[in-house]
Each structure stands twice: as C-alpha cells, then as structure tokens.
Amino acid sequence: MAGLGEFALIRQFFAAAACAAPAPGVVRGIGDDCALLQLPPGEQLAVSTDTQVAGVHFPERHDPFLLAQRVLAAAASDLAAMGAAPLGFTLALTLPAADPVWLEGFARGLDAIARACGLALIGGDTTRGPLNINVTVFGALPAGQALLRSGARPGDLVCIGGPTGEAAAALPLVLGEREAHGAADAQLLAQYWTPQPQLALGQALRGLASAALDVSDGLLADCGHIAEESAVRVVIEAARLPLSAALRAAAGSEALRLALSGGDDYVLAFTVAPHAVTALQVAGLSFHIVGRVEAGGGVRVLDGAGRDITPAAAGYQHFGGGDGQA
C-alpha cells in the first residue's frame, strides 16, 4: 500500500482494534500465517464468505463507518441463518489507497458491529486495487443441529424474523436520488446501513425450525431456495406481511412489491411445524407468521381473498435473470 505501509496499516487499524483482542475459541488471532480456532467437543464449524464491491453492492460515495457495519452484518446474518454461535471473522480488504480517514472510520464501524455480534477479528489480507471488501465469518454449533434449507414439510408455517422491504425502500436515499427527511427515512437508512443480524433468533430456532435462511436477495427469491431444497411449495399470504409505516410512507403503492422482492433485508425466514411455534412464542422471540408450506413446488403469493398474486420477477442475480437490487 502507498503512504502508510501495509503492515503499519494492519497494525494500526486492525490488529490494535478491540475486536481483535483475545476471545474465547480463538487460540491465535492476527499475526501469524493462519489463525487458529478451537471448537468445543461435538461442535461443528460454520463458515460463510461474503464479498462486497464498490459501485455494485454499495455506492462509491459512502460513510466508511456505516459501510463496515453493513458488510459484517451481512456476513454475520449467514451465521444466524444456520443457527451458529459467532466465533470470529477474517477481513480481506482491497483498497485504492491507504486513506487514514477512511480506514479510521471503517475500523471504528467494524469494531462496533463485531463486538455487538460477538465476532473476533482473527486475520485478513490487505491489497491495493478497486475498493472490494471480503469478510469470512466462522461460527460454531452442535453437530447435526444446523438450520438447513432442506427440511421444510407440508403443513409447516412460514415465518420471518422482522419486516422486509425497508432496505430496498432506502435505495433512492442511498443513491442520492432523493433527500432524506424525518424519522421514517432515517429508519429506512438504518435498515440499509446497519441491519441487525438475527443471531439470537437463529440459535433459538435450533431443533425447532424445519428450515431457515436469511433474506438477502428478496423474500420471494429466498423462499424459492427453501421450496427448491425442501421440494415443497411456499405460500406467502400478502395480508400477513408486516409492512412498516416507514416503508409505506416511502414506497406508497410499491410497499408490498418491495417487501416481497426488494433485497438486503437480512432478517431470517424459516419454516416451523405448528406445534413448535408455541415454543418459540413462549421463549419470547419476535417473529411474524406470513404463510404456510404445501405439497408442490415454487413460491406463491396470495391476497386476502386467496387469489394468486405472485409477481413474475423473483430477485436480484448478478449474472442476469432477476430485476431486484444489488
């Protein structure tokens, strides 16, 4: 790296960060050729990697403090979706320049979200090039208890861990196409920049949910993965979807479309047998029942009268085939 050297940069902004301090399960963190993780006996390692590219996943003009939170939250959401307890993460940064102001903001944001999620920074890589951020997260869970996409059964209920559509509704604000005004727009922007990975919910779903994933490409597109992997039909009842006041205010008649097909929500979607729903409610978990699983295939959306109102488009795909957001 130009200016600040690569090793000085790593030391100053990452190795010295509070989130890189010694943590349970981390035998060796930043500083050697590999990090070393120790799992308790009988636990499996859950691993997920996520790359975000400037101009594709986030705007070139951004606040690095918020960007760091969004990138790590998106990756941690995959641990939540599996029911894994967070352990640590690596950070592979490709930077156009060693800009101390950007790095300071980014490191601060990373530290905030890492500590909130219980994720220790255990290593990474630092190179020069167009801005590109890769995060790999590691989590632990009892062997055989991961929440897969493949376990949904006809008769199960379909649930989501929170409202969808708000991050998609924030996009015109994020892209500077519209000025933010008031608390509702602030809520949409917070949902876009600082989504809250549902780690506690995911771990509570172990042994109860029949299938789960996190909604990143749009509710319908992601429910399509459960439908396919479980060989079932997922039926969403539009009237049951929680459409927030902020979403309605910003999107008007488009609110339902964004809740179904917008991306970047990072809430969990899961299926659960009706008898197990009670256990989740008793545990005080917050979620919404939005539909049911039937025999068949694909995803259907029904209106209040039971009419099929399934939209044609599914969600975003980087190499074509969708119409959603990056």
Per partner kind, with CB cut-offs from 5 to 8 A, the member of Mg ion, ligand ADP, none near residue 93 is ligand ADP
Residue 266, strand partner residues: none
Backbone angles phi, psi at 285, to 5 degrees: -80, 145
# residues near Mg ion by CB under 5 A = 1
Residue of 24, 38, 49, 125 interacting with Mg ion (CB under 5 A): 125
Closest CB to ligand ADP among residues 93, 184: 93
Residues contacting 33, CB < 8 A, separation 6+ = none
Per partner kind, with CB cut-offs from 5 to 8 A, the member of Mg ion, ligand ADP, none near residue 303 is none
Q: Which residue has the tokens 């390692």?
A: 45
- Enter the tokens of residue 39: 């799992």
5 lines the binding site for Mg ion (CB under 5 A): no
Of 35, 36, 61, nearest to 125 by C-alpha is 35
**What span, in angstroms and rounded, lies between the C-alpha atoms of 317 and 326?**
8
Closest CB to ligand ADP among residues 138, 270: 138
Closest separation in Å from C-beta 323 to Mg ion: 38
Per partner kind, with CB cut-offs from 5 to 8 A, the member of ligand ADP, Mg ion, none near residue 30 is ligand ADP
Closest separation in Å from C-beta 82 to ligand ADP: 23
For the beta carbon of residue 43, count every other beta carbon within 10 angstroms: 18
Closest CB to ligand ADP among residues 10, 236: 10
Binding site for ligand ADP (CB under 6 A): 10, 14, 30-33, 91, 93, 121, 123-126
Q: Based on the number of CB atoms within 10 Å of its own CB, is 95 exposed (0-12), middle (13-18) or buried (19 or more)?
A: buried
Closest separation in Å from C-beta 54 to ligand ADP: 16
- Window contacting Mg ion (CB under 5 A); options: 35-43, 120-128, 184-192, 246-254: 120-128
DSSP state of 196: -
Closest separation in Å from C-beta 120 to ligand ADP: 11
Q: Based on the number of CB atoms within 10 Å of its own CB, is 62 exposed (0-12), middle (13-18) or buried (19 or more)?
A: middle
DSSP readout, 249-287?
Answer: HHHGGGHHHHHHH-----EEEEEE-HHHHHHHHHTT---
303 lines the binding site for Mg ion (CB under 5 A): no
Closest separation in Å from C-beta 110 to ligand ADP: 9
31 lines the binding site for Mg ion (CB under 5 A): no
Closest CB to Mg ion among residues 33, 60: 33
Per partner kind, with CB cut-offs from 5 to 8 A, the member of Mg ion, ligand ADP, none near residue 177 is none
Closest separation in Å from C-beta 115 to ligand ADP: 15
Closest CB to Mg ion among residues 125, 303: 125
**What span, in angstroms and rounded, lies between the C-alpha atoms of 246 and 187?**
7
Backbone angles phi, psi at 320, to 5 degrees: 95, 165
**What span, in angstroms and rounded, lies between the C-alpha atoms of 125 and 109?**
18
Closest CB to ligand ADP among residues 71, 219: 71
Q: Which residues bind Mg ion (CB under 5 A)?
A: 125
